[in-house]
Chains A and B, each alone.
Chain A
Amino acid sequence: AQKVTQAQTEISVVEKEDVTLDCVYETRDTTYYLFWYKQPPSGELVFLIRRNSFDEQNEISGRYSWNFQKSTSSFNFTITASQVVDSAVYFCALSEAGTGGFKTIFGAGTRLFVKA
């Protein structure tokens, strides 16, 4: 069965600190997709990144980077030099291609507070 665990409920950092949000997933499928979404205080979820199970290359986009490790079933997200605008709830999500793949399972989220 699909499962996504975000063990960190809340993280508080001071601006300019680096912060890593953890995500561990469970799946029996060999083909699956992992996502990160951001939910700012305004409420709408915003897509950040998608990785498929065959591509373990780490990715960097500006201050954001993602570390995908199949060996540990983890897909961690790092924000470098955090800013106040990064304050939001971040969700990791998983969908499996084998079951039709459209059912997306979200973790419980990590609330990030960045203080000035």
Chain B
Amino acid sequence: GAGVSQTPSNKVTEKGKYVELRCDPISGHTALYWYRQSLGQGPEFLIYFQGTGAADDSGLPNDRFFAVRPEGSVSTLKIQRTERGDSAVYLCASSLGGRASGEQFFGPGTRLTVL
């Protein structure tokens, strides 16, 4: 079976532009997570979805960041007015059931570079 996939694998944009990052979770996984990983750091939690709803968005750094999961499967992370500090690898993970104890399966990430 397919794992978590993320597109694009790399995205280069200019400061001030809008970007969308896509995540396809493992089929049947109801929980979906977005993380941001900067060089030399661990993944930083951004947002968690259970089904279509954002159950915890406390990690989103500011209102330029927004994520949706309209049909409870694919999710899109949207960043408006990008800044150089947004450059990082954005990771998506999914898990079955979404319990705190659940093992998360990670995608390969999207490397975002803001020039």
- A residues within 8 Å of B by Cβ? 4, 6, 32-33, 35, 37, 42-47, 50, 52, 91, 93, 95-97, 100-109
Which listed residue (B43, B45, B48, B50) contacts A45, Cβ 8 A?
B43
Q: Is the CB of A106 within 8 A of B42?
A: yes
Q: Is the CB of A100 within 8 A of B42?
A: no
Q: A91-B42, A108-B40 are in contact. Are A44 and B106 (CB under 8 A)?
A: yes
Chain B interface residue count, Cβ-Cβ cutoff 8 angstroms: 29
B14 at the interface (CB under 8 A from A): no
- B residues within 8 Å of A by Cβ? 31, 33, 35, 40-45, 48, 50, 55-56, 58-59, 89, 91, 93, 98-101, 103-109
Q: Is the CB of B42 within 8 A of A103?
A: no
Q: Is the CB of B40 within 8 A of A44?
A: no
Q: Name which residue of chain B comes closest to A47, CB basis.
A: B103
Q: Is the CB of A104 within 8 A of B33?
A: yes
Q: Is the CB of B56 within 8 A of A44?
A: no
